[in-house]
Structure 1
Amino acid sequence: MELKMEIPASRRVVEAYGDGGFRVSGERHLGSLLVTPERVFPWVATRIDEMDLASLAPLLAMAEDLDIVLIGCGPRMTLLPRPLREALSAAGIAPETMDTGAACRTYNVLIQEDRRVAAALIAL
């Protein structure tokens, strides 16, 4: 699905998702991703139950620069396991789970508002 939005060129924006990956700021990425306004990281998770603290290490390393992480759970929203929710909260990051499409759209809106946000996106 294509997403259209005016966002500064210095920000990473999710332009499309589906077919097993994403297009972020003009670049096609296969598989799941961690996306911040400045960087894109490949992510090993293909399902919410494959997430662990080690897989979120790039985001945890940026905890001082983040307020929220949007977790795109795939085709439908799933609850984040309690230990992960508590670990993110302890690092000062509010986790929000939603389906991947909603996470992509919400991420784009929040970076347009210059919010301190990242997205952990499971590929569809």
Structure 2
Amino acid sequence: MAAGIEMVDAFYPGRDPIDYYGNGGFRFGDMSHQGALMVLPSGTRRWDLPEDGPFSLASFERILTEKDDIEILLIGTGPRLTPLDPKVAGHLRGEGLKLDVMDTGAAVRTLNILLSEDRAVAAVLLPVD
């Protein structure tokens, strides 16, 4: 009997710049990842999105566990800028996070610049085709 596919917590302990994005994924640190991505002070991991959507408060739970180490949170909303729900944005700001919402391409470019400046940045990025 063949075993089913097991999803593991894809985690990369580095904070390398994103070398490429597109075709539904990202390339960074000699690795590639298909799907949404989360770059945190602790490292880079897949962004598991809850069923109620990518920008619900539940989708930011892991971010909030590291909020004390984050100065700026970049939110890459895919191919186009999609504003956050004001309640979600208000809650995140109330937790002390500075938000910058933009399309994923702009978020990747901004992330790479802030990483090169050794800034306390985190990002959540939806993939683009």
State TM-score, norm by structure 2. 0.80
Task: Describe how 1:38-117 pairs up with structure 2 within 5 A.
Answer: 38-45=42-49, 49-117=53-121
1:1-35 deviation per Cα after TM superposition (whole angstroms, max 9, x unaligned)? xxxxxxxxx53211110001001211100100111
Instruction: Report deviation, 1:98.
Output: 0.7
Distance 1:38 1:15, change over 3 A: farther
Q: How many percent identity over aligned positions?
A: 41
Classify the secondary structure of the residue corresponding to 2:101: strand
CA distance in 2, matches of 1:75, 1:121: 10
Distance 1:64 1:37, change over 3 A: closer
Listed as ranges, the gaps of 5+ residues in structure 1 are 1-9
CA distance in 2, matches of 1:37, 1:64: 10
**Which structure: larger Rg?**
2
C-alpha RMSD over aligned residues = 1.7
CA distance in 1, matches of 2:81, 2:25: 18
Listed as ranges, the gaps of 5+ residues in structure 2 are 1-13
* Mean CA deviation greater in 17-26 or 51-60: 51-60
Classify the secondary structure of the residue corresponding to 1:55: helix
8 Å contact kept, 1:78–1:98: yes
Aligned residue type for 2:70: L
